[in-house]
Amino acid sequence: MRTDLRGSFRRFPRPLRGGLAAALVTLGNFLPAQLPPGPPVLTLPPPGVPTQGRRESMDTRLELGRRILASSGAKAARHHFFEALAVAPRDARALLELARIAEKRPEERWVWSYLYLLSRANKNGRLSLDKSERAILSQGLPSLQTLVQKRAAAFHELLSFVRLLPRKGAKSLGNGILARWALDLLLEIAEPSPALRRELAAKAPALLQGIQPKRKMVLDALAQLAMKAKLNKDTQAKDVARPLRAAELLTGLAAQAHFPKLKGPRPPKMDAYAKKGRAARDRIRAALLKSAGEPLSLSDLRAMDLEQQREFSLLHRFWERPGIALTPGKKYLCQTTCGYETLLGLVETAELHHRRLANWYGKDPFVYRQGSIFVVPDTADLESEGSPFWWAGGFQAGDQTRLKFSWGSISGLGRSLTHELTHRFDGAIYPGLPSWLSEGRAVWTAKSYGAAEDEHFDELRLDPWTVQTPFVRGYGGRGKFERLLKGTIEDYRDNYTAGYALFAFLKLWPNEKGDKPLFARKLGIYLKNIREGRRDPVGFFERSFADGRAGRPKKMPEFLKLWHSFLQACYKYCWGEKVPALARFHLRGKGGKRRSQVEDQPTWTWEHPRAEPWFGQIHAARAAKLLQETGAHKAAAAAACWALTTDAYDRETWQRAWDLLETLGKKREAWALARLIARRDSLSRIKAGSSPLLAALPKTRAWLRAEAGVPGIRWQRHLPEPAASLARRLGTDGWIETGLTGYEERRVRGLWFEEDDGDLHVGRARPRDKSGLKDRRAHQRHAFVRSLLWLPAGSYRLQTWVQPTTSFASGAIVVGYTRRDRGVRVYFSTGDFLFSIGKREESDKKRQKEISFSLSGGWGRESQFPGSRPRKKLKFPSSVDGFNLEIRVRGPELSLWINGEKTLHYLSPDLSPIQGHIGFAMGQGAIRLRDPRVTIQSVGATPPPGLKLLAPLKGTPLLGSLVLDLPRASSGSVVLTLPPKKDPKLKQDPLQMLLQKTKAFARRRVLHPQPILVLLPKSWDAKTKAFAKERCQSLHKDILFFEYEGEAPLDKRPWALFLDGNSVVREARPFSPKRGFPGRVETWARKYRARKKNS
């Protein structure tokens, strides 16, 4: 996976920055490799010397350590030498001093001696030592020097291995996996050696050149499969399912290839593939539609019971057999793979939205033209429909409307549908509308009604919150305004907000008397004659709306003044000011029916909110599964290897890649992939055996054996203890400014700096020059900087003191950053926002004593499950001038500690490890991070803490623990516990309470299909156990029973737990006499299902 190279670097002497930036820009253009995710080679800093201030900081620590060594002995001095290493982990002087004071500890002396030699040796592992150095170093100096040379020899052998990897032909399949394995090992070998780090950084471009997934092989295989469909009047879904999916994948890949700002290497030419994919897709779907029989009617859908509804959703989740129904007036044929509720909602409301639009336009141009509505659950599916933009939530093409719908309501779907149907009406009545007007009208119609049953739009509806956005972005000025009219704005999405604002202004803004709209009459004429403005859109607009008649402005400057006052009025209203000019409008929308969340299982997606994608994202993984099913193992393996480079870690995809490589007899690639998996996933079934690679790498094998044979040394990241576990400054290798979604629109480059003592400031470009602790003014500017240091999967800890340096500060700490849209974010905000922007003269003392925190892993589904996106507000006794922050990462879990107390806990939904860089972002204000340090405690796949519910608990935390002694179910399981004795505080018998509260839950198996596991105490006699089992089975016959030892697993109350598909405890709640079945557990059981397989 490539790193986003846009940005700037700091930490190195200013004369070096320009050369480094130039070198990295060259590397960014020259680096054609596309590898599985892992540490980028660019984490290596360039050759150079520390800044003067950093050198002085090092000298101070060393000198202090030497003085204390002379006066107080080695034990007292050791800490100061460790502090020197925290600043510069490869500093030879500190390593030599540590070797000196370890005279009585031979193993530790060996460690420091070895690291000292590595820090001094050249790229070939050779160096010269004077007498004083030889006297200090270990007695086994010759063997150490030999080991250093073997390490260097292994390094150069691995460089040659990567350079000689085949780039073309059948043998190149999986070369990215081999390169990733070798680069990981190269980075580990080079870690303690400045000379080897420089060598690797210098040779990285040539090493990686041409290592690419075999994308053409995949595209050709998909095209061939798509053409295989044999169609006739009796075509069945099972006969064309695979060709149809191949055609959809080709269409999706072609759509991605045409997206602007696509990430990663440039895609191949896709025009021919796009044509084949679309043609095959439409041809197969048309044949299936003919053979499907009559579409369902509204009465057919309403006649289904709950179980039939759920079966319908599962049966019709793919396009070879979509749910198809006709609206009552036969105006729309609705097709969806989202499920029953979605289809029912569409059929009930589509014609209601159509009727409202027809009333608004004054006519219905589609009396004899039936429309089609297609609804899909995720972004990749919409791309397979031919989406024009990666961010689109739907699009209109002729009479066909296509929408994406997930985790939403029918009310929300209706607004998206209204937006797209407005484009349909405009295309028929006002063809050729410019983008701003087309999108502006569609946004207005989507916002200007309450319930779907409303026959007319609210003609006075105005949303000031949407209007303020173009004001902030500068569309009140002539330059951007004219670019909007010409259609030359940088981001098409601005047409939505700026277009809405301009359309609403022209439609609603009153004349001076306030008795009628000023521009509304002219707007109708403008719409009818829109084609006249194609050559000169600005001039045509001015002639239409700044003609000086009927009270309208005389020239464009006068119009722009009025336009600016409208935008400003909406902006002021949004900030709480009373604006009389807006009093006549309806500024708050009306609610409607159908606002509850749709509970169709296919709409409960696992996707991340999409940023600019990489070519092949999601589609390559789906292609791998499809091609594997057809027996095209080579193309399937190529697709799986491609998917490794575009998507975040996914167990199913990585294991499929391993299976395919094994099937093809590519033992080296399969073993390397198994090693990569083993470092990430402790729950994977794949285990790496003996290496088939080392036989061809004799120097590497000799080095590994030599180091493994050193007695008494624990190895970690190829650094021996205790060196590996030392805390180090997060910025020792430097900082880089790169992209981060959500922190780019108002980005100010260079809005951060690092002091010589290691303190990092984010949100300001230079030190404060005012007295006091904080600036009142907190600018609303985006800033982001991340460390070059890569933190691998395992356990590590970040520690720092965070000091807000403005009266309000809001930002995020990003842990596990691998690219701009990936990573766990620790959001924070503190202070008085209104005071910081001058809207309040006196600071709110209450707000100055509070800090709000929240955690998010960037999954769209997280907000749907209790506890998955935790948040907390902390209150302090006095104004917050700073706080101690510690972030602990252990495999897939992250815990936030503030001032020594655990505050929040996060666990990734799929148990993927949190690995990558650490970065700091600011949305407003500025902070100072005092000497941020990181400690790597262990490396490798790390599962959540294990828990045995059938044995006495020994202080293991419950939530987030992996249950080891109960069966695992792919859609999770519900665990109910019964205590051995009744709690004296409870009036009701525990068994009776459990039965009463669980009765409705257990009988609605359609909503809660998970197995129910009941834990009984082993101490009960046989009669009591038999009675309890009989009563529980009256709820459902398939309940499973287990017996636990000792006291109750939790306490003397009955409890309900939800275990996810990996048997991790996601929720646990006791039964309460005053409430029904624990609601948070019920929510997990109702919404959690096995992850949808790639298809």
DSSP structure string for 32-63: -----SS--GGGSPPS----HHHHHHHHHHHH
Angle at 401 between CA 396 and CA 403, to 5 degrees: 100
- Cα separation, 614 vs 603, in Å, equals 23
- Which residues lie below 8 Å from residue 938, measured CB to CB, with a gap of 6+? 716, 794, 795
- Which residues lie below 8 Å from residue 750, measured CB to CB, with a gap of 6+? 8, 737, 765
Q: Which residues make beta-bridge pairs with 719?
A: 716
- Which residues lie below 8 Å from residue 850, measured CB to CB, with a gap of 6+? 830, 873, 874, 875, 876, 880
The identity of residue 371, as a single letter, is: G
Which of 667, 664, 659 shows the shortest CA–CA distance to 634? 664
Element holding 336 (H helix, E strand): strand 332-336
Whether 929 and 802 have beta carbons less than 8 Å apart is answered as yes
Burial class (CB in 10 A: 0-12, 13-18, 19+), 1050: middle
Residue 905 gets the label, from left (phi > 0), alpha (psi -120 to 50) or beta, of beta
- Cα separation, 122 vs 312, in Å, equals 68
Q: How far is CA 35 from CA 404, 641, 654, in A?
A: 31, 9, 13
Which of 249, 167, 248 shows the shortest CA–CA distance to 214? 167
Q: What is the CA radius of gyration of the chain?
A: 32
Can you read off the two tokens belonging to residue 924? 């407003």
- Cα separation, 545 vs 567, in Å, equals 17
pLDDT the model gives residue 519: 95
Whether 424 and 399 have beta carbons less than 8 Å apart is answered as yes
- Torsions phi, psi of 371, nearest 5? -95, 160
Can you read off the two tokens belonging to residue 610? 């999409």
**Cis peptide bond upstream of 722, omega within 30:** yes
Whether 334 and 346 have beta carbons less than 8 Å apart is answered as yes
- Cα separation, 699 vs 701, in Å, equals 5
Q: How far is CA 756 from CA 12, 264, 760, in A?
A: 11, 35, 9
Domains (range + CATH), the chain: 9-50+88-211 (no CATH), 459-588 (no CATH), 728-939 (2.60.120.560), 946-1087 (3.40.30)
Q: Which residues make beta-bridge pairs with 1015?
A: 977, 1042
Which of 671, 675, 624 shows the shortest CA–CA distance to 652? 624
**Cis peptide bond upstream of 711, omega within 30:** no
- Cα separation, 640 vs 959, in Å, equals 34
Consecutive 10-residue averages of pLDDT for the chain (1095 residues): 32 30 32 76 51 69 86 82 86 90 81 91 94 84 92 96 93 94 93 92 86 95 94 82 96 95 90 96 92 94 94 93 96 97 97 98 96 96 95 95 96 97 97 96 96 95 96 95 96 96 96 89 94 94 94 95 96 92 90 83 89 94 97 97 94 95 96 93 87 93 84 46 71 91 93 91 86 82 94 94 94 96 95 88 86 93 91 90 95 95 94 95 96 91 90 81 94 94 79 91 89 94 93 89 87 91 94 91 93 56
- Torsions phi, psi of 443, nearest 5? -65, -40
Angle at 1004 between CA 1000 and CA 1008, to 5 degrees: 110
